[in-house]
Amino acid sequence: MTGHVSLVGAGPGDPELLTVRAVRRLAEAEVVVHDALVSDAVLALAPPTAELIDVGKRPGQGVAQDLINVLLVRLAREGRRVVRLKGGDPFVVGRGGEEAAALAEQGIACEVVPGISSAIGAPAAAGIPVTYRGLSAHFTVVTGHRQRGESPVQWQSLAQAGGTIVVLMGVAQRADIAAQLVEGGLPDTTPVAAVHRATTGEQTVVRCPLRELATTPIESPAVIVIGAVASLDIRSIAAAVDA
């Protein structure tokens, strides 16, 4: 018996944004191995009998990736129904690919259940369409946090590419990111929106021009949207039409 793991995307926070399959896998779970970002409302969909294991990586703590891989393999070998629950989409900036590969190497079947990435869900929750005719025809999702040894992000090339830039894990590095984008030719008047704890009861949205990104207080976790669309708020347009 080799066991089975479902690598499930938990979406940005609101449980209503889970896929039908994610809800089903959670309801059947015997053990849920989850990240820090997964909301309590989503975890509440696991049966009360399910064991919940928090392997969340908060700064300075959390469980190392190797140990998470070992844990998943062990739980699967015990023959339990394992849900590995990751914020947003498991394969967008979150090392889900490495976990799937580690399981495959050990001969353990791994199913991937995609989720709504915060890269899409957070802008949407702030009324920002990541593409919009005449403003932006494409968007780039990029992580602001690189581990040592990983290749650096080519921010100056991104500045040249145009379109919308969606930064995950970028709060701590935002001064550096803004400086490199401006150096790359992006006007310092470019609109920016930061969406904190998107789709949860604690959601906040901060907007500023790129030149003020470094000094504007933003709390993690947040998605930072950079580009002309960041000045839009479709929610207020809808409200104006209703009025």
Active site residues: 35, 57, 169
Question: Quick one: which of 158, 166, 169, 182 contacts ligand SAH (CB under 6 A)?
Answer: 169
Q: Write out the two tokens for 144.
A: 């602001």
Helices (H), the chain: 20-27, 40-43, 65-77, 96-105, 118-125, 155-161, 174-183, 234-242
**Coil, strand or helix: which one is 29?**
coil
232 contacts: CB under 8 Å, gap ≥ 6: 127, 128, 129, 132, 135
Distance of closest approach, residue 121 Cβ to ligand SAH, in angstroms:
7
Residue count, binding to ligand SAH (CB under 6 A)? 25
Binding of ligand SAH by 195 (CB under 6 A): yes
Distance of closest approach, residue 59 Cβ to ligand SAH, in angstroms:
11
Question: Quick one: which of 178, 197, 205, 232 contacts ligand SAH (CB under 6 A)?
Answer: 197
Query: Measured from the CB atom, is 25 or 196 closer to ligand SAH?
Result: 196
Binding of ligand SAH by 118 (CB under 6 A): yes
Binding of ligand SAH by 168 (CB under 6 A): yes
Query: Measured from the CB atom, is 122 or 128 closer to ligand SAH?
Result: 122
SS3 per-residue string spanning 188-209: CCCEEEEEECCCCCCCEEEEEE
> For residues 71-100, which are near ligand SAH according to CB under 6 A?
86-89, 92-94
> For residues 224-243, which are near ligand SAH according to CB under 6 A?
none
- Omega of the bond leading into 221 within 30 degrees of 0 (cis): yes
Dihedral angle over CA of 15, 21, 22, 25, nearest 10: 130
Question: Quick one: which of 17, 26, 29, 37 contacts ligand SAH (CB under 6 A)?
Answer: 37
Distance of closest approach, residue 122 Cβ to ligand SAH, in angstroms:
5
Query: Measured from the CB atom, is 6 or 199 closer to ligand SAH?
Result: 199
Q: Give Cα 41 distance to the centre of its chain.
A: 17
Which residues lie across from 31 on neighbouring strands? 51, 82
Binding of ligand SAH by 198 (CB under 6 A): yes
> For residues 174-193, which are near ligand SAH according to CB under 6 A?
none
How many CB atoms within 10 Å of residue 63?
A: 15
SS3 content of the chain, % helix, strand, coil (to 5): 35, 25, 45
What are the residues binding ligand SAH (CB under 6 A)? 12-13, 37, 86-89, 92-94, 117-119, 122, 168-169, 195-199, 220-223
